[in-house]
Structure 1
Amino acid sequence: MTTSPTASTSPAPGGTATLLGHHVLGPELPAVPYDHPFRAEFRGWLQQHPLGPEPLEQDARIAHRRAWHRELAADGWVGLHWPVEHGGRGADALTQFMYYEELALAGAPEPANTPGLILLGPTLMVHGTEELKKRFLPGILAGDEAWCQGFSEPDAGSDLAAVRTRAELVGDEWVVNGQKIWTTFGQYADLVFVLCRTTPGSERHRGLSLLVVPADQPGVTIRAIKQISGDEEFCEVFLDDARAPRDWVVGEVGQGWAAAMTLFQFERGDQGYTDHARMLVRLAGVERRLAESETAGLVSSVRAATARARHRDLWVRIQGLRLLNYRGAVLATSGEGLGAVGSMTNLVWGELEKELGAAVAEAVGACGLRAGRHDTHERLHTRAASIYSGTSEIQRNIIAERLLGLPR
Structure 2
Amino acid sequence: MAIVADDDPFRREFRPWLAEHVPGPEPLDQDAKVALRRAWQRTLSAGGWAGPAWPAEYGGRGAGPLQQFMYYEELALARAPWAANAPGTILLGPTLMVHGTEELRTRFLPAILSGDELFSQGFSEPEAGSDLASLRTRAHRDGDDWVITGQKIWTTWAQYSDWCFVVCRTDPESKRHRGLSMIICPMDQLGVTVRPIEQISGDPEFAEVFFDGARAPAGHVVGEVGQGWAVAMTMLGFERADQGFSDHALLLVHLHDLAAELRAAQRDGRLGAAEAAEARARHADLWIRCQQLRRFNLSIAVRGEAGETPGDFGSVVNLFWADLEQGIAELGVAVAGARGLALGDHPAHFLMSSRSATIDSGSSEIQRNIIAERTLGLPR
Match of 2:291 in 1: 319
Paired residues for 1:75-224 under 5 Å: 75-224=47-196
Match of 1:234 in 2: 206
| Contact 2:329–2:347 (CA under 8 A) maintained in structure 1 | no
Cα displacement (A) at 1:37: 1.0
| Contact 2:184–2:221 (CA under 8 A) maintained in structure 1 | yes
Counterpart residue type for residue 337 of structure 2: G
Cα displacement (A) at 1:401: 2.5
Cα displacement (A) at 1:86: 1.0
Separation in 2, partners of 1:398, 1:311: 30
Residues 158-178 of structure 1 deviation map (CA, whole Å, 9 limit, x = unaligned) = 111110000011111110000
Identity across the alignment (%): 60
Separation in 2, partners of 1:372, 1:179: 32
Match of 1:70 in 2: 42
| Contact 1:196–1:208 (CA under 8 A) maintained in structure 2 | yes
Counterpart residue type for residue 381 of structure 1: S
Paired residues for 1:9-48 under 5 Å: 22=1, 31-48=3-20
Separation in 1, partners of 2:312, 2:221: 28
Cα displacement (A) at 1:370: 5.5
Cα displacement (A) at 1:97: 0.3
2:358 maps to 1:383: no
| Contact 2:25–2:81 (CA under 8 A) maintained in structure 1 | no
**Partner-residue secondary structure (3-state), 1:169:** strand
Cα displacement (A) at 1:371: 8.2
**Partner-residue secondary structure (3-state), 1:243:** strand
Please, what is the CA RMSD of the aligned residues? 1.4
Match of 1:262 in 2: 234
2:275 maps to 1:303: yes
Runs of 4 or more above 3 Å deviation: 369-372
Cα displacement (A) at 1:109: 1.6
Deviates more, 1:294-303 or 1:230-239: 294-303
Counterpart residue type for residue 215 of structure 2: R
Counterpart residue type for residue 237 of structure 2: Q
| Contact 2:124–2:132 (CA under 8 A) maintained in structure 1 | yes
Match of 2:256 in 1: 284
2:341 maps to 1:350: no
Cα displacement (A) at 1:355: 1.4
Residues 273-306 of structure 1 deviation map (CA, whole Å, 9 limit, x = unaligned) = 1110000000111111122122111222211111
Higher relative contact order (CA 8 A, sep 6+): 1
Separation in 1, partners of 2:287, 2:346: 24
In structure 2, runs of 5+ residues without a counterpart are none
Cα displacement (A) at 1:41: 1.1
| Contact 2:316–2:371 (CA under 8 A) maintained in structure 1 | yes
Counterpart residue type for residue 42 of structure 1: F
**Partner-residue secondary structure (3-state), 2:175:** coil
Match of 2:218 in 1: 246
Normalised to the residue count of structure 2, the TM-score between the two structures is 0.97
Counterpart residue type for residue 401 of structure 1: E
Normalised to the residue count of structure 1, the TM-score between the two structures is 0.90
Separation in 2, partners of 1:272, 1:374: 23
Counterpart residue type for residue 21 of structure 2: H
Q: Structure 1 pair 59/205, CA: closer, same or farther in 2 (3 Å)?
A: same
Counterpart residue type for residue 135 of structure 1: R
Q: Structure 1 pair 240/331, CA: closer, same or farther in 2 (3 Å)?
A: same
**Partner-residue secondary structure (3-state), 2:334:** helix
Separation in 1, partners of 2:372, 2:100: 33
In structure 1, runs of 5+ residues without a counterpart are 1-21, 23-29
Deviates more, 1:338-347 or 1:66-75: 338-347
Q: Structure 1 pair 372/255, CA: closer, same or farther in 2 (3 Å)?
A: closer
Cα displacement (A) at 1:358: 1.0
Q: Structure 1 pair 130/50, CA: closer, same or farther in 2 (3 Å)?
A: closer
| Contact 1:265–1:339 (CA under 8 A) maintained in structure 2 | no
Separation in 2, partners of 1:352, 1:96: 22
Match of 2:302 in 1: 330
Question: Alignment length, in residue pairs?
Answer: 380
Match of 1:14 in 2: none
Q: Structure 1 pair 307/132, CA: closer, same or farther in 2 (3 Å)?
A: same
